[in-house]
Structure 1
Amino acid sequence: MSNRALLEVIALDAEDAIAAQAGGADRLELVADMAADGLTPPRETFAAIRAAVDIPLRVMLRKADGFSAGSAADLELLVAEARALHAEGAEEFVLGFLNPDGSPDLTAVEALVAELAGCRWTFHRAIDRAADRDQLRKALADVPGLDTYLTAGAAAGVDAGLPVLLAEAARSGEPGYGASILVGGGLTLAHLPELRGAGIDAFHIGSAARPSGWDHPVSAAAVADWRAALA
Structure 2
Amino acid sequence: MTVLEICCYSMECAESAERSGADRIELCAAPLEGGLTPSYGVLKSTRERVSIPVHPIIRPRGGDFCYTEGEFLAMLDDVRTVRELGYPGLVIGVLDADGNVDKTRMQQIMTAAGPLAVTFHRAFDMCANPLEAFETLAELGVARVLTSGQKASAEKGLSLIRELIAHAGAPIIMAGAGVRASNLELFLEAGVKEVHSSAGKWIPSAMRYRNPGLSMSTDPDADEYSRYAVDAAAVAQMKAIIARRAE
- Asked if these proteins are the same fold (TM beyond 0.5), I'd say yes
- What secondary structure is seen at the aligned counterpart in 1 of 2:229? coil
Residue of structure 2 in register with 1:152 after alignment: 148
Residues 11-30 of structure 1: matches in 2 within 5 Å?
A: 11-30=8-27
Shift in Å, 1:73: 1.8
AA aligned to 2:112 is E
Query: Highest CA radius of gyration, 1 or 2?
Result: 2
Unaligned runs of 5+ in 2: 205-225
Considering Cα pairs closer than 8 Å and 6+ residues apart, tell me whether 1 or 2 has the greater RCO: 1
Shift in Å, 1:93: 0.5
Unaligned runs of 5+ in 1: none
Q: Which residue of 154, 175, 179 corresponds with 1:183?
A: 175
Counterpart Cα distance in 1 of 2:15 and 2:137: 34
Contact preservation (8 Å) 2:9, 2:228 = no
- What secondary structure is seen at the aligned counterpart in 1 of 2:108? helix
TM superposition score normalised by structure 1: 0.89
Counterpart Cα distance in 2 of 1:11 and 1:114: 26
AA aligned to 1:225 is Q
Shift in Å, 1:212: 4.8
Matched, 1:74 2:66: no
Matched, 1:9 2:1: no
Residue of structure 2 in register with 1:221 after alignment: 233
Shift in Å, 1:68: 2.2
Quote the RMSD (CA, aligned, Å).
1.8
- Count of paired positions: 222
Q: Write out per-residue CA displacement over residues 126-182 of structure 1, whole angstroms, 9 at most, x where no aligned residue.
A: 1111100011011121213x111101112411232121112222x2316xxx11111
AA aligned to 2:230 is V
Larger displacement relative to structure 2 (11-20 or 23-32): 11-20
Matched, 1:47 2:38: no
Q: Write out per-residue CA displacement over residues 80-119 of structure 1, whole angstroms, 9 at most, x where no aligned residue.
A: 1221221122220001111121111112212211111111
Q: Percent identity?
A: 28
TM superposition score normalised by structure 2: 0.84
The structure with the greater share of residues assigned to helix is 1
Counterpart Cα distance in 2 of 1:12 and 1:190: 23
Counterpart Cα distance in 1 of 2:148 and 2:17: 21
